Structure 1
Amino acid sequence: MQMLQNIDLLTHPYPEYLDQPNLVTSQPLNEDATIKLLLQAYQESELDFTYYEASQKRLANAIASNGSRTLGFDQINNYKLTSYEVLTTWRPQSLGPPNSFHIHEDISEILALLPEDIAKALTTPSMISGLVDIVLDRGRRPCAWVFGTRQFLVKSDRIVTPEDISYIVEKVGGIGNDNRASLEYQLHRISAIRNRNGDITGLTIRVGRYIEGNVSLIADILAAHEKNILFLGEPGCGKTTIMREVVRQLANKRDVYIVDTSNEIAGGSDIPHPCIGLSRRLMVPSLEQQAAIIMECVENHSPAVMVIDEIGRSNEVEALRICKERDVRMIASARGNLHEILKNKQLSGLFGTSSLSSELCSEPMFQVIVELYRGQYDAWRIILDTVQSVNAVLTNKDCQVQVRRRLKDSNGFLLDMQSL
């Protein structure tokens, strides 16, 4: 009791009920046994205090995040999902560096394409950092999409003229049959709108960026070599930007090939953009030939990993089925979300279903789905069990999926569960 008082701990409130409160003094142990037991007690109490410290951290983090779990990736154990508080308390060396991005963007190449007055409106730092698309339609005011909002670039009496369109198309070097063009050694993309006579009446200039470190939210999934991953989302949600970093990281250790739809991942030059690291790129002459290029890649190059930027047609789905049968890991993207893809006659086969069926017909080609949403670049919805989720959608049952949210300047992230 005196020992407890000496370290400011509560003594037993009813000592009269203790069987032998003076056991140690009445029957002293020998010196060696006393030292051994005291050391054991000290080590156990130190461990208890460590548990207490981790528990306090978890409580504080849960309060700060409104009940969300804070997790991290245990790099020593193949990036296994682990309690952030456990890692910071017991294995801080296993945590990676804080979440940080290195954004590579060269807006000057885009500005050089534009008429001077339009380009001038895009030179402010706030405009550049959030610029996604520049929209130019004949007879209308030029505008841009910045951080998810439309911003007009010139005064109301300035409209886009046929000469403006021709000026840009000439600088680009022409627009292809797929109504897309890219810039040499750049990641930007120019898309055209034509009238019924084939004349170009509008242009969309998409800013291409390369962002190092933007796939940290799925480090565990990338480390699982057997997992095929499908990124889903509407245009402008960041699918292609994310896939650039995926291929760079995977190519450090594996033989990665990119089937590059419209040259969006690695740019339009014969020499691919450095953002893809050690991976190799196959260009697609036209959308109609993409399935054939996928098969050519498998048969001629035997890739360990194949990356396809945009799946959109049933013959591509069949080509991917053959890739899966040959144990090629697949990373791909498509437009829409899981519910929309399951209703799409061209793409429902990705998940082993038919648009006319309410049940799985075969095993899904992708084990993991990552749903992305425009403007929510730090919150990804992760479907880790495609079979369970597809069955839930087909039978109108509830299914819980993960939502991972990046923590700024931290090497952890927040995890919530959400109904599909």
Structure 2
Amino acid sequence: MKPSIAATGGWLLMLSVLLSLIAQITGLFSGYWAGIPIWLVVMLFVPYVKPAQRKQIILLMLVGSVGLLYGVFSGLDGRYLLKTLDANQNVVAMIVGVGFLRIFAVNSVKTGETLPKGKSALIRTLFGAHLFGSVLNISSVMIVGDKLATQSKLTTTQGLVLLRGFSACAFWSPFFASMGLALVSAPGAELGTLVSFGIPICLVALGLSCWQIIHRDDADTLSGYPVTLYSLWMPALLAVIVITAHKYYPHISVLSLVTLTSLCFIALWLLFTKGYHAIVVARNHIESGIANSSGEVVLFAAAAMLASGVAASLDAMNIQLAPEHFGPLEAGVTIAVLVALAMTGMHPVTSVVLAGSVLAPSMADPNMLGLTLLMGWSLGITVSPFSGVQLSIQSRYDIGAKDLLKANWRYITAMYLICCSVLWWYSTQI
């Protein structure tokens, strides 16, 4: 990507973040105004997105456009067009805001450290990668993985540690894209409920992963990441701030709280550690670092168009695809479908938005749908060789897709049954 394109896109996205926060906090204007800069960025970034992803994005836009046109010619009002213009701006703003935390993460990594070895080191790495990932998203995989790769080529076991630690974040983290999209796709879902059920499921997933990892043949000889309490204070602090702020300011969306918390944290940290150079560091990130999220930004905008087009078409044809009752059985089927779609290469952003647009209109309990979407997202990115995190691990560390799939299928089977059991138990409590 040309530096001028990256810089222009970066500043446009910062404008979108500003408009999104002002709209959410003050209510002075509608949030869809924040979507206008995003669509300008889409036009700039589409040519630079990876070819495979670009094909998927173009298909989403075409399908969405056809649906919107059908809705318009059928006499529907403009609410679906405004939903398209919105471009999932709350989620995009969160991605941009959280992206600034990479500055902290990169500057906090120490060099020249001796890496610990053995089963306990791998377990600490699993939990450390999980806590990093819960706030830093996929950049955490690169930070931990690159550190391990300084000693020797990563093995399948180490790749498994990175993958499981990261994918389990999707069950509960307010900073993870899965939570943002689940809250948007299941209107009325409550962060507290999703987190309170997501954390226990996450702990079970990490516990099962620990058991499998320590029983692998090479576990005693492999290096782990030097996780310390100092390295974990930032993700823990930010998670507590967001959850506490949501309790006292429930009228502000969780996505906006995550965005605002991330930006305030990095601004204060830069001022205290960089002084006058803070502005230079922030500007460099805006003009070059934000472009690293170009694929995600374009995909979220395309997903917004797809969701609007599908909803408009169903409304115009007066078709209701959602089941009359969405209980644990239907939720279990939905998870299986989301995982199957992930195996075909469909990005979870697309499948979750599509599921939400179909199921949300008749959903009696949005929390049930929100939990279902989070579970489908986590299991899908864990098992699919085509998920973003798997592709990154495969290409960056030369770990075979078949090896990861072989190591994951028992975990996915067990976690699917556990997720279905949790949904059944949840249905008995409401």
Q: Which has the higher strand share?
A: 1
Which has more radius of gyration? 1
**Greater relative CO (CA pairs within 8 A, separation 6+):** 2
Query: TM-score scaled to structure 2, two decimals?
Result: 0.26
Q: Which has the higher helix share?
A: 2
